[in-house]
Structure 1
């Protein structure tokens, strides 16, 4: 076979085996065919570094996720157990019946975004930077209620297009408590038990909703356990399920208000995140120092944790910002 034909064949094989990203420019692919070995080598390097919807780039690390939940997520025994079981069970199935749909609820700084990050890092080689992880923010992507119909259409097209590109896509919706009620209903069919919709299967995708809605109810239940002298580890999911579902579904300010996602039970798990105590804030500060390759200094972590605001005002039990400001405040205390 002539060299140029060999190059063309190799190019075709590469193109057919991988979803190419914009790292490979159209002009590079042309040069690969007509420009000889040097151009072909350059093309191959670009292709090799381009993320694909293939096991080399998407591969679930069950042990890694469990280790991260055990060692990096503090004070969230309920959430840790649910996330570990739900994600591991879902990713172990080659042909799940429906997408995995998780709804994480809790106050500021309790770990909602952090859990999403841990899941992404243990599925996608590039973690949150993966082309197959898509994050939507209510205030950034859907700011104007007057454009609700346009947002619904765009959201459906974004999801359909990205899952067509890679069936193992992840979608994260932040600030669900600020999303216009009714917007999220447009994707309910994609989350249900369907073989496919218009030729597209959504069953291998993961959808994660993040919301402060229900946070007050979760905090109140946690405080009641504390007042009764019970350990937070004694709190079970059943102690929070009813108050959480009611506060989410009936909250007019929530994106879940009277939502078909709730009515049709397409959300697999409502995951409550408990308010964090002083000891957990100290752990967050120590973990942040380790993440920066520093020797953890407990006295610095304790100093920082003591300066934060806690509630109720008299008892000072729970951090009102959780661990949210730890990373930004650490430089000051160091």
Structure 2
């Protein structure tokens, strides 16, 4: 810190402290802050000692000022001299990073038409959090059409893990085309990404990293973060085993939809679709030598992804449930006719059956604006 800047900061600190110490009451006769001893005084105060009540009031005031000034100096030392900040940050993080037991209940109530996603996410996350010493970070890969609930589940998981949800300093969200738009800068992106992940894990023992539009990530970016997701070798100074990585992708959506459509045509309920059957089909599609980042990265080949989480296409009655939730979230009354009207606004495919919502539940919350008075 330069010598010229230090006196200025000390002067600012002293001014602020003086304001704090004189900060109770209104303005006195000379325009200065007035404390309890400058209030209009009666005969007893004018000619002798204060009354007992006034004495106790002054004591209480001084104790409060002392406590505030101590907190202020701690804050000032942290912000100006970067001293004494660690304990405050650690205490805040300890409060923030406590997993909530209500994840399963909220998924059952608010996530519609996704029996497989509910089961896999709840089991994977609960098992990971309950493990005293996991061997590696938890890596989940969400797959399915847009609007089926991938981002919704990611937000819900963040809100149950951290007090401030996605705004927590322990959560980092990366959107491929927003954060890494140009392939010519991929080397710079790799360095930044590694640095951000490392710093977050050093700050928080349990961190959450969300990669949206993961199919658009350059394959070298996926390869760059492999060391954070692999088994812990005890060589580095930072332990990443308590981290959770979520990859959200539209890849595999067609395969998932084909399976759901085949079950419907065979007269079988979608709840009969098993994870074993669908995951096998999904893996085969992702391993095809197509022009996608997953095929060119080593995430699949090295089995770094712990669970593939399929999100099924949503049907008409699922869209109605999303519409109901949107009405309730805004405190608006609704009728079955209104829910039907919202659902009929959506486009359904295939062309013959018109079974699945092409947008899932995306834009449903905007469509209820038609029903506002």
Q: What's the TM-score once normalised by structure 1's chain length? A: 0.85
User: Matched residues in 2 for 1:299 and 1:144: separation?
Assistant: 47
In structure 2, the residue matched to 1:171 is 209
SS for the counterpart of 2:172 is strand
For the Cα contact (< 8 Å) 2:349–2:358, is it kept in 1? Answer: yes
Aligned residue in 2 for 1:15? none
1:332 equivalenced with 2:332 (yes/no): no
Aligned residue among 96, 106, 111 for 1:57: 96
The residue that corresponds to 2:310 in the other structure is: 272
1:234 aligns with 2:272: yes
CA offsets, 1:105-127, max 9 Å, x none?
Answer: 00010000000011111110111
What are the within-5 Å matches in structure 2 for residues 110-121 of structure 1?
Answer: 110-121=148-159
> What is the SS of the residue equivalent to 2:296?
coil
- Name the SS of the counterpart of 1:103 in structure 2: strand
**Residue 75 in structure 1 maps to residue 113 in structure 2:** yes
CA-CA distance at 1:189 after TM superposition: 1.2
TM-score (structure 2 length as normaliser): 0.76
Structure 1: gaps (5+ residues): 1-25
CA contact (8 A) 2:140 2:306 kept: yes
Residue aligning to 1:144 = 182
Alpha-carbon offset, residue 289 of structure 1: 1.6
Any conservation in 2 of the 1:177–1:253 contact (CA below 8 Å)?
Answer: no
The structure having more radius of gyration, on CA atoms, is 2
How far apart are residue 33 of structure 1 and its match?
11
- 1:179 Cα deviation (Å)? 1.5
Counterpart in 1 of 2:81? Answer: none
1:201 lines up with 2:239 in the alignment: yes
Q: Distance in 1 between matches of 2:308 and 2:92?
A: 29
* Bigger mean CA deviation after superposition, 91-100 or 34-43: 34-43
CA contact (8 A) 2:169 2:200 kept: no
* 1:26-67 alpha-carbon deviations (Å, 9 max, x no partner): 99x9679977734434577999997955331111112x1011
SS in 2 for 1:134: strand
Structure 2 CA distance, aligned partners of 1:115 and 1:32? Answer: 49
Segment of structure 1 superposing worse, 90-99 or 101-110: 90-99
Question: Residues 203 and 278 from structure 1, CA distance in 2 versus in 1: closer, same or farther, beyond 3 angstroms?
Answer: same
Q: Secondary structure at the match of 2:245?
A: strand
Q: Name which of 111, 116, 135 aligns with 2:173.
A: 135
Q: What do residues 273-305 of structure 1 show as CA deviations (whole Å, max 9, x unaligned)?
A: 000000000001111122223334332221110
Q: 1:164-196 deviations in whole A, cap 9, x for unaligned?
A: 111211000000111222321111111111144
What is the Cα deviation at residue 326 of structure 1? 0.9
What is the number of equivalent residue pairs in this alignment?
307
Compared CA separation, residues 243 and 311, structure 1 to 2 (3 A): same
What value does the CA root-mean-square deviation take over the aligned residues?
A: 2.7
2:143 corresponding residue in structure 1: 105
Which residue does the alignment assign to 2:48?
none
Within the candidate set 28, 40, 56, 2:70 is matched to 40
